Structure 1
Amino acid sequence: MKKILLIVTTALFILSSCKTVEPVDPQVENDNIYTKVFNQLLIEPSSVPFDRLFESYLNSSYFLNNGSAFNSFVQLESDIYSGKAACESVDFINRLKTLPLSIRVHQLAADCAQMSNDSTAIEFHESMIDYLVLGYFKNGDAKNYYSAVKVTDFGEPTDLIKALGYEVVEYYIQPYAAGSMFSYAVVANSEDTGKQRSFHFNVWDALDILYSSSEEPVDIYSLNFLPTATFEELHETNSAFDLGTARVLWAQNNDVAVERLLRSVSAGNSMAQQMLADKLIIGDKINGYDIDDAIDQLISASEAGLATAFVRLSVIFKHGINTDKDLAVSKQLEQKSVELIGEDRTFGEIALVSTLYDLPEGQLVEAFKRAASAGNGRSAYYLYNYFNDKEQDEVALKYLELAAELEYAEALVLKGSLLVMDESKEWEDVQEEFLDLIEEAQSQHHPKADYILYKFLQASDKNLSFKYLQQAAKKGLVAAQYELANAYDDGDITGRDLAQSVRWLSMAVKQGSLPAIVGLGYNYEKGRGVEKDLTRAVQMYSLAAEQGSAQGMFNYGYMLLKGRGIEQNYPLAVEWFERAAKNGHASANNELALLYKEGEYFEQSYEKANQLFQLAAEDGEKYAMYNLGMSYEKGLGVAKDIETAIAWYLKAQARGHEEAAIRRFNLLTGKTN
């Protein structure tokens, strides 16, 4: 078990270098007596008075606190009694108030109250809005990443936010993980306290709807689509979509990024104004603007009430970035941000902006220390990485512990990984803590936590494991996207679905995954899930080869060698085979050996061919094992040696080479051909 977990967490640990899950009601101990009574009543439900059925339900601690069981009960009530019996029950609505918070409970209560002209209908609807928008509260932090699709069932996100007493400052599309997952974000200020916060609604469910209705893979990077009706008005102004596109495309050095950013700026989007200022300060060239315009853009954003704009202005005046230093003004701006978003977020933002603006190392470290001391987990995690790079292990681990205590998801995942990788500890002693850490990170919608749970559950629950893999992929984790593509290709869980496989390969390709680029090229070469296109396959292989993929080098070389999708070119093919071989690709040595053996490009040399066959065979290449066996059987470049030939055929056979099995059998039985 320890070894299995080591593999799981090591895989995730490597990932570090390369949000919407509906809360589940807590499970409690099953009350066997009432459960049996309840189940008995379900045998002939139509003959059971609703009050008796409901009483047995209410008296079962198991069903009372089990969200899934409650949903079954509600479905039963709806199917049999059409909701009327429940609503006619005198104290049904009041009793519903005692049940665990869930959308279905509040929806049922609100419907019943409305049906009965009960004034509590408004109360329940407000409570459900609060649940939808805020999610579960934790340590005063009410981050919600509820699905935009589900929110639209209850109205516009902005309407829900306004119903909670917030005034909208700005809205924008926030890309995560290089754009593979988006959230619709709204910056708003409380009308009561003036505090500013961001509401996030994930749109991955909307993307799923889009993907499933589209025959061709959808390019989510362009954002030229309308995920749900929620965004109709937003899409007309385009500012939020333009900003989201600019953020994604900027990392790709795409010229369209500037066009989209400036269009969002022209629409008055304060987040776009802030992004433009950042780009100008770090020296990016943008036509029509220079660094002198940066402060003006930030002032415009701050006038709109954007707290992070105050942070940037504070840093600028504190360090005299393209202006005179003014510590008094800097302090006032910092305090304004503290009033809006709190001390920990303000100091954390200052630290990140200091990094963005490339301040000296000493000032950076001090900024992050200040933020960590104020309770900013992200800053504590930065300090862990900083001191870890400096090989100051003791200090680094102190900050990792602090980041984990502050429940920063990345730190929780890393701490859990390190916990299991600690060989001085037994799995039984760390299992509970490990799962607590990972599940807390997963509750924060961290894709690596989903990925770890996918690995952890592979042996025990394939279906649940696959669900976590899907979640990690949807959240943009490139390794998960690639593995999900392979899972759809293998078809062990869901049945083979090559279209889905291509979809997720395409997603991983957009994030630069070399294995995915090669995999997608192979699909185009063979026509698997896409129309066969050798030219496109060559393009993919070439791209992977240029970026250092040994498999890409080999595949590209092979296409050149055979003239598939590209003009035949022996010299270039050999060049790529040699580069692939230097990068450890055994099949490349086998192909080079065949060229020496057959004299197609090199002067024929059985001796050189056998040397390369030997190298490839020792690296596990079955075709090289077979070819080496042939050399010994025929005496090509070596003394004829049937026993050695049989030995190499056996090794090739063990790796699935069918012809090797036949030749070995023939030699053992004295047959030759």
Structure 2
Amino acid sequence: MNAPSYEAMARLRNDPGASGGDLFTAAKELRDSFVRGEHLMGLLPQDAPDVLVDGLERAGRAGIVDAWLELGKLLAYGCAPWAPYPEQDVSASVAAYQEADRAGSLAGALAWIRIAYYARSDAHEQAAARRLDDLLAAAPDDAEVLLLYGYLRHQGYGHPADPATAVPYHRAAAERGNADAAFEMSVIYGTGSGVPADQDESRRWTFRAAELGSVRAMGNLGGMFATGRGVEQNPVTALEWYAKAADAGHPRSAFTAGVMCLTGDSGLPVDEDRAATFFATAEELGVDVDDELDLMGLSR
């Protein structure tokens, strides 16, 4: 027996009169079946990823811009860590996001540039840099545009690498409330990349990034309080930050919090029930908890 979401998407796929809205709704339901792990239960046949892609493409061609955005994301990252479907295809992901860009979506424009940048795609490098130049000229105060421009200038994608030139763009994005940019500022000052190293300034930006929602900053604060790096050592506060990062989807923080509760790290009370909760979260986020514990000489 196939999942109802697959049957519904397959029927619409064979209906030439199906609307874009119906196709997009059905495609999202099929995506959610992968997220729920129904492929692991034998409820989704082998062609389910192709059916999903085809449904989103048809919805996109019918004028549903969000369908192109969804397709671009799935082709880059899959449905979930435990459901890497459809198969990753950077060029196809870029193409889907470019369809959204052509339809006037700023999110689509930024997404295809970002995917090309992270993949260091030679084929898209110059086009990505030119498109981002255009976006910056049109929206010079947009925090996401500023952040991405800082990345490209820092790493030298489509431009000569120049960390010092990147700093003002990251700072401007951070001052506009962008959590990722604030985290970049913490790294910039921590490593002295484009500016003189300044650990106090790095720490200030780490706290700011965490306040803005950066899971990486939350995890770093957990490590800082666990070790006393730049702050007074405090295992209780460390666990609080690791827990916040875990709740926000940071796998390593979830695992580390579990270990702290399992072992009673630095005088914390042993709490096997809470450890189990953290480990379950870590597993959902893709960590092989038992293998990691075994490497540490531990077990649950």
- Which SS does the other structure have where 2:219 is aligned? helix
Q: Flag the 1:501–1:450 CA change in 2: closer, same or farther, 3 A.
A: farther
Match of 2:102 among 454, 461, 471: 471
Match of 1:483 among 98, 101, 111: 111
Q: Flag the 1:655–1:467 CA change in 2: closer, same or farther, 3 A.
A: closer
Q: Flag the 1:630–1:459 CA change in 2: closer, same or farther, 3 A.
A: closer
* Alpha-carbon distance in structure 2 between the residues aligned to 1:459 and 1:583: 25
Alignment partner, residue 557 of structure 1: 186
More strand by share: 1
Report if aligned partners of 2:100, 2:108 keep a CA contact under 8 Å in 1: yes
Report the CA distance between 1:497 and its aligned residue.
Answer: 1.9
Report the CA distance between 1:542 and its aligned residue.
Answer: 0.9
Match of 2:66 among 455, 463, 469: 455
Match of 2:166 among 537, 543, 548: 537
Amino acid across the alignment from 1:481: A
Larger Rg over CA atoms: 1
Report if aligned partners of 2:242, 2:253 keep a CA contact under 8 Å in 1: yes
* Structure 1 vs Structure 2 CA RMSD: 4.0
* Alpha-carbon distance in structure 1 between the residues aligned to 2:117 and 2:182: 23
Report the CA distance between 1:575 and its aligned residue.
Answer: 2.3
* Alpha-carbon distance in structure 2 between the residues aligned to 1:598 and 1:454: 47
* Alpha-carbon distance in structure 2 between the residues aligned to 1:657 and 1:586: 16
* Count of equivalent residues: 224
Alignment partner, residue 501 of structure 1: 128
Q: Flag the 1:459–1:552 CA change in 2: closer, same or farther, 3 A.
A: closer
* Alpha-carbon distance in structure 2 between the residues aligned to 1:649 and 1:460: 31
Report the CA distance between 1:665 and its aligned residue.
Answer: 4.7
1:64-103 alignment, distance < 5 Å = none
Alignment partner, residue 218 of structure 2: 589
Alignment partner, residue 522 of structure 1: 151
Report if aligned partners of 1:622, 1:655 keep a CA contact under 8 Å in 2: yes
- Which SS does the other structure have where 2:265 is aligned? coil
Q: Flag the 1:528–1:578 CA change in 2: closer, same or farther, 3 A.
A: same
Report the CA distance between 1:636 and its aligned residue.
Answer: 1.7
**1:654 counterpart = 2:287:** no
State the TM-score, normalized to the length of structure 2.
Answer: 0.59
Q: Flag the 1:514–1:594 CA change in 2: closer, same or farther, 3 A.
A: same
State the TM-score, normalized to the length of structure 1.
Answer: 0.29
* Alpha-carbon distance in structure 2 between the residues aligned to 1:560 and 1:568: 5
Alignment partner, residue 615 of structure 1: 244
1:191-210 alignment, distance < 5 Å = none
Report if aligned partners of 2:180, 2:214 keep a CA contact under 8 Å in 1: yes
Report the CA distance between 1:556 and its aligned residue.
Answer: 0.8
Q: Flag the 1:647–1:527 CA change in 2: closer, same or farther, 3 A.
A: farther
1:39-118 alignment, distance < 5 Å = none
Percent identity of paired positions between Structure 1 and Structure 2: 18
**1:606 counterpart = 2:235:** yes
- Which SS does the other structure have where 1:497 is aligned? helix
* Alpha-carbon distance in structure 1 between the residues aligned to 2:71 and 2:173: 35
Q: Which runs of 5+ in 1 are unaligned?
A: 9-448
Report if aligned partners of 1:450, 1:472 keep a CA contact under 8 Å in 2: no
Q: Flag the 1:566–1:644 CA change in 2: closer, same or farther, 3 A.
A: same
Report if aligned partners of 1:451, 1:472 keep a CA contact under 8 Å in 2: no
Amino acid across the alignment from 1:655: L
Report the CA distance between 1:2 and its aligned residue.
Answer: 4.8
**1:639 counterpart = 2:269:** yes
* Alpha-carbon distance in structure 1 between the residues aligned to 2:237 and 2:219: 11
Amino acid across the alignment from 1:635: G
* Alpha-carbon distance in structure 1 between the residues aligned to 2:213 and 2:163: 26
Report the CA distance between 1:562 and its aligned residue.
Answer: 2.9
- Which SS does the other structure have where 1:603 is aligned? coil
Report the CA distance between 1:545 and its aligned residue.
Answer: 0.7
Report if aligned partners of 2:98, 2:109 keep a CA contact under 8 Å in 1: no
Q: Flag the 1:663–1:642 CA change in 2: closer, same or farther, 3 A.
A: farther
Report the CA distance between 1:568 and its aligned residue.
Answer: 2.2
Report the CA distance between 1:544 and its aligned residue.
Answer: 0.7
Deviation per CA, 1:182-227, whole angstroms, max 9, x where unpaired?
Answer: xxxxxxxxxxxxxxxxxxxxxxxxxxxxxxxxxxxxxxxxxxxxxx
Report if aligned partners of 2:170, 2:181 keep a CA contact under 8 Å in 1: yes
1:84-483 alignment, distance < 5 Å = 453-456=64-67, 468-469=99-100, 471-472=102-103, 478-483=106-111
Q: Flag the 1:465–1:545 CA change in 2: closer, same or farther, 3 A.
A: closer
- Which SS does the other structure have where 1:565 is aligned? coil
Report the CA distance between 1:528 and its aligned residue.
Answer: 3.7
